[in-house]
Amino acid sequence: MANEVKKVIWAFDPYTDISSTWERTQEAITALKKKDGLEVTPVYVMGSDQLEWVGHLEPPQLDSVEPYVKKAAASRLEQLKLKVNEPVILKNHEDSRRSDIQTLLDYVQKQKADLILVNTHAREGVARFFMGSFAETLALKSNTPILFVSPESKKIESLDNLEEFIQSKSAWVTQVTLYGYLKTRMGTRYVLHFENDEFMSSVNLAKWNIYSVALQDLTFYTFSYLKNNFNYKDVEKSKEIFIKILDDEISNKMPLNIIDGAKNNFSERLHNINWDNYYNELPFNPSALSLYKWAPIAEELKTLDRKIVLNSVILKWDTVKKEFQERINF
């Protein structure tokens, strides 16, 4: 794909205030710009939520806010010292995330862009945007490839760091494999399906079920790895972390029946686990099979896709395993 990229739309938020996010974005754009003739255009969607912090007693028009936004955008780009096009400010008069995204995608299509660059700034990068926010909706609706840039990864030096890693990477694997499979199988028609409430209900059901198994797999893998490579003894902490992650997802509208089922399944697996061998014995097969089971695709088509689907999940987990081994510092 990199050889074909000529025009990049950078979904730019000048109000992000995490230095490592900007550093990683600089690196990504610098790498992209090594290709001759490639242009990067920063684009900020200015929605009605901006009206709240301007200080007017009466609801102003977006036009009155635009100078503040342009100034912030120019200041941020000056700090970054990147050779990019002048920032584009798009106005969205509807008060919803979906309409913000549609405004951005309409512009991307009009410009015939080859890639969307998004710098994430949630507290766990890819983790929290996955469950029901801007980036998930963008990933669902975009026909254009997306490059997500998250803040610099921290070393995993504590159980809190480990919990963050398990949650974020389980969410990432669930997202990219489920949505990737749906887009591949449906082709150019998939965007129309995502406007169908019944289909989206099936997607959300699949998402939470796959995620619940991915969490189990990665929790067991990481604690098994720690026990065998770092002599970590307190493997019972795995259940504590797993339950905390699930309880935190209640605020993200994870269905309670799926949470309860996941807790029961985790307890059963915990009772039978061999901590000495788990991390070396196909640790992620359950979540791969979960994608195959829950993806809302006709059964006769899934049968044809079985090997490809399972391999796609395992390949993503291989990336996670490598990152874990590089970041762990217990």
Residue 17 has pLDDT above 70, yes or no: no
Give the pLDDT confidence of 202-247 residue by residue, as tens digits.
988 999 999 999 999 999 999 999 999 999 999 999 999 999 999 9
Instruction: Give, as one character, the DSSP assignment of residue 87.
Output: P
Mean pLDDT for the chain overall = 84
**Range name among 14-28, 294-308, 313-327 with the lowest pLDDT average:** 14-28
Question: What is the band of 72 on the pLDDT scale with cuts at 50, 70, 90?
Answer: confident
Question: What is the band of 105 on the pLDDT scale with cuts at 50, 70, 90?
Answer: very high
Q: Token pair 């669902």 is at which residue?
A: 140
Average pLDDT of 295-309?
Answer: 90
Q: Determine what percent of the chain is predicted with pLDDT higher than 70.
A: 83
Question: What is the band of 67 on the pLDDT scale with cuts at 50, 70, 90?
Answer: confident
Question: What is the band of 49 on the pLDDT scale with cuts at 50, 70, 90?
Answer: low
Question: What is the band of 189 on the pLDDT scale with cuts at 50, 70, 90?
Answer: low
Average pLDDT of 191-200?
Answer: 73
Q: Which residue has the higher pLDDT, 210 or 22?
A: 210
Instruction: Give the whole-angstrom CA distance, residue 119 versus residue 29.
Output: 11
Residue 290 has pLDDT above 60, yes or no: yes
Give the pLDDT confidence of 147-162 residue by residue, as tens digits.
888 766 779 999 999 9
Q: What is the pLDDT, as a whole number, of residue 131?
A: 44
Taking the domains of the chain in order of start, what are their residue ranges? 2-149, 159-327
How is 100-166 classified by DSSP, letter by letter?
Answer: HHHHHHHHHHHHT-SEEEEE--STTTHHHHHTTSHHHHHHHH-SS-EEEE-PPPPPB-SHHHHHHHH
Q: What is the pLDDT, as a whole number, of residue 98?
A: 76
Q: What is the pLDDT, as a whole number, of residue 62?
A: 64
At residue 46, the 3 state secondary structure works out as strand
In whole angstroms, how large is the CA radius of gyration of the chain?
A: 21
With residue 248 as reference, give the H or E element that holds it: helix 237-248
Residue 125 has pLDDT above 90, yes or no: no
Q: What is the pLDDT, as a whole number, of residue 132?
A: 46
Average pLDDT of 261-285?
Answer: 96
Arch. (CATH architecture) of 2-149: 3-Layer(aba) Sandwich (3.40)
